């Protein structure tokens, strides 16, 4: 074989096919990468994006087709093989040890050592600080991962992959849990990697980010390549069409009616850990109030304080004009307050359980008969109803939630809280990590719930989502509210200005 010449692509995947239990997931896919380019890889959940990258990174070892790296055939038998060849990957699902610190996870197996080869705590800590600083992430190197939120865990995963100095870096939904400064810092680093000849595969459902950072886009649909397009000539509408094979129309469903006058939830002087100070606001019947801010501003903390998941140090809550005391999430549920958490897999759903069991987790009283006896028929009827109403793509109520796509898992989580017949619904990053088609469906559900009179607090890092869905937008900075913007006065610039005030 002739030695690879300078014109050969860095990577070529040819005629890749892969099936699971006889079901084709990839069909004759060709994919290539040049040195120093960023390629956006798009597709709905289940299109085959992650499977293709797991083949490249050595996770899936049985497949048809071949891979050429720098012109030479390779077949990775393990992730360690791929890693040794210079391929780094940040999976959508975190691969961290929760009982270890951030710095121990970052340098696991590669701890910094001092004299005599002994572990150097100080050197490891300083190296971790430098790695996090480069990403613009404020993470305590000594903090246990189990005590960190989704966003810092995402940044640890990215920092870990970058610390290996890969030839090819695969990022699977890297911005799903981060926003603002963290995304800006990540994009700055990706552009620097590009300038140094490192190739990046950027998988994301955030089309604006793909258009901003990538040089070229490859779209998959039903396991096949549905299109390749230079980013310079791409639009969001064109990418959506290539991904889903149809025009979705408006991603944001129009509202049939506006908010009412009655205040359903009022929060006065809320204070609590880690630094929530004097937060006051209200939500009216049928109103969607957006809560925006940078990562770490305190949005999720406000939601958890309202729900009683964290203990507030001060503040009062009023529900339909009556003061209520919430000491535990069960108190909130009993009062008709639901909370769709940002971390559906750890805090929202029980993945090994069925759709039916997850939908009815919070409403045993509705699926019980006289004397509190459990009624399986009622439970199944309730699950069937939400499967129909939310258009879930499931084989039936007994399907295990773990096997569902991200969008359908999110619908199950929404159904769980809709089942309690809430008066107030808190939605924390309701479309994180789901594809554009599922996102449009979730937006339709949210608009429909508001039209039915539900008071909704919408927390989102996606400014277009906040701007299009909200009747009013609150902005937080370092634990305080810094703006209350009517929809007519809100813009991305106004929100960002208040978020850094």
Q: What is the pLDDT along the chain (501 residues), one digit of tens a residue?
A: 455 445 689 999 999 999 987 878 999 999 999 999 999 999 887 788 989 999 999 999 999 999 999 999 999 999 999 999 999 998 877 889 999 999 999 988 777 776 666 778 888 899 999 988 888 788 999 999 998 877 788 889 888 888 888 999 999 888 877 777 778 888 988 998 899 899 999 998 888 999 999 999 999 998 999 999 999 999 988 998 888 776 555 667 788 888 999 999 999 999 998 889 999 999 999 999 999 998 778 999 999 999 999 999 999 999 999 999 999 999 999 999 999 998 888 888 999 999 999 998 877 665 555 555 566 777 888 889 999 988 888 888 999 999 888 888 999 999 999 988 999 999 999 988 787 878 888 899 999 999 999 999 999 988 889 999 999 999 999 999 999 999 999 998 899 889 876
d(CA 321, CA 148): 35
pLDDT at 226: 94
Spell out the long-range contacts of 78-81 with Cβ–Cβ below 8 A and sequence spacing 24 or more: none
Residues 6 or more apart whose Cβ sits within 8 Å of residue 241:
247
Identify the pLDDT of residue 6: 53
Helix, strand or coil, per DSSP, at residue 314: strand
Q: What is the 3-state secondary structure (H, E, C) of 24-38?
A: EEEEEEEEEECCCCE
pLDDT of residue 5: 47
CA–CA dist 12, 32 (Å, integer): 4
pLDDT at 246: 60
SS3 at position 465: helix
Extended beta strands in 247-371, E state: 263-272, 276-284, 288-293, 314-319, 322-324, 337-340
d(CA 70, CA 84): 14
What pTM does this model have?
A: 0.71
Of 333, 291, 309, 323, residue with least CA distance to 422:
333
How would you label 465-478 residue by residue, b for 16+ Cβ within 10 Å and e otherwise?
Answer: bbbbbbbbbbbbbb
Residue 137's SS3 state is coil
DSSP per-residue codes, 156-208 = HHHHHHHTT--SEEEEESTTTT--THHHHHHHHHHHHHHHTT-EEEEE-S-HH
The encoded tokens of residue 312 equal 């507030």
Pull the structure tokens for residue 325. Answer: 């005391």
CA distance 10 to 455: 52
Cis peptide before 123 (omega within 30 of 0): no
Concatenate the DSSP letters of all residues of 350-377 into one string.
-TTSBHHHHHTTT-GGGGB-GGG-B-HH
Which three-class secondary structure string do you get for 376-395?
Answer: HHHHHHHHHHHHHHCCCCCC
The total of other beta-carbon atoms located within 10 Å of residue 373's CB is 7
The per-residue pLDDT for 256 is 85
């Amino acid at each position: 074989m002739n030695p690879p010449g300078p014109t050969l692509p860095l990577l070529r995947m040819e005629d890749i096919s892969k099936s699971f239990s006889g079901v084709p997931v990839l069909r004759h896919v060709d994919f290539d990468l040049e040195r120093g380019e960023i390629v956006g890889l798009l597709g709905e959940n289940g299109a085959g994006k992650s499977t293709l990258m797991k083949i490249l990174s050595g996770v899936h070892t049985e497949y048809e087709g071949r891979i050429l790296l720098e012109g030479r055939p390779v077949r990775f038998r393990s992730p360690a093989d791929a890693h040794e060849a210079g391929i780094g990957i940040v999976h959508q699902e975190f691969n961290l040890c929760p009982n270890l610190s951030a710095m121990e996870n970052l340098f696991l197996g590669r701890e910094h050592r001092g004299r005599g080869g002994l572990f150097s705590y100080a050197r490891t800590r300083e190296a971790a600080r430098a790695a996090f600083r480069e990403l613009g992430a404020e993470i305590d190197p000594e903090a246990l991962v189990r005590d960190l939120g989704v966003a810092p865990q995402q940044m640890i995963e990215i920092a870990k992959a970058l610390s290996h100095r890969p030839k090819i870096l695969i990022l699977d939904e890297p911005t799903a849990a981060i926003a603002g400064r963290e995304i800006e810092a990540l994009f700055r680093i990706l552009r620097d990697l590009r300038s140094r000849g490192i190739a990046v595969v950027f998988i994301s459902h955030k089309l604006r980010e793909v258009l901003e950072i990538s040089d070229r886009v490859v779209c998959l649909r039903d396991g096949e390549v549905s299109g390749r397009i230079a980013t310079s000539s791409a639009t969001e509408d064109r990418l959506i069409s290539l991904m889903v094979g149809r025009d979705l129309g408006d991603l944001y469903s129009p509202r049939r009616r506006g908010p009412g006058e009655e205040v359903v939830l009022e929060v006065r002087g809320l204070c609590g850990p880690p630094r929530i100070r004097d937060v006051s606001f209200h939500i009216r019947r049928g109103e969607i109030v957006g809560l925006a801010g940078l990562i770490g501003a305190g949005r999720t903390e406000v939601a958890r304080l309202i729900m009683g998941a964290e203990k507030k140090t001060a503040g009062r809550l009023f529900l339909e004009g009556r003061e209520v005391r919430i000491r535990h999430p069960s108190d909130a549920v009993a009062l008709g307050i639901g909370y769709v958490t940002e971390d559906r897999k750890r805090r929202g759903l029980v993945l090994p359980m069925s759709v039916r069991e997850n939908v009815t987790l919070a409403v045993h009283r509705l699926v019980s008969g006289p004397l509190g006896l459990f009624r399986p028929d009622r439970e199944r009827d309730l699950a069937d109803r939400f499967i129909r109403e939310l258009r879930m793509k499931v084989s039936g109520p007994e399907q295990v939630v773990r096997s569902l796509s991200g969008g359908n898992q999110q619908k199950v989580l929404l159904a769980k809280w809709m089942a309690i017949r809430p008066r107030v619904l808190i939605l924390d990053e309701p479309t994180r990590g789901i594809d554009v088609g599922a996102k449009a469906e979730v937006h339709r559900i949210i608009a429909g719930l508001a039209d039915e009179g539900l008071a909704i607090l919408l927390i989102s890092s996606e400014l277009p989502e906040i701007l299009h869905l909200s009747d009013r937008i609150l902005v937080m900075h370092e634990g305080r509210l810094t703006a209350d913007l009517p929809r007519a006065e809100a813009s991305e610039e106004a929100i960002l200005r208040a978020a850094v005030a």
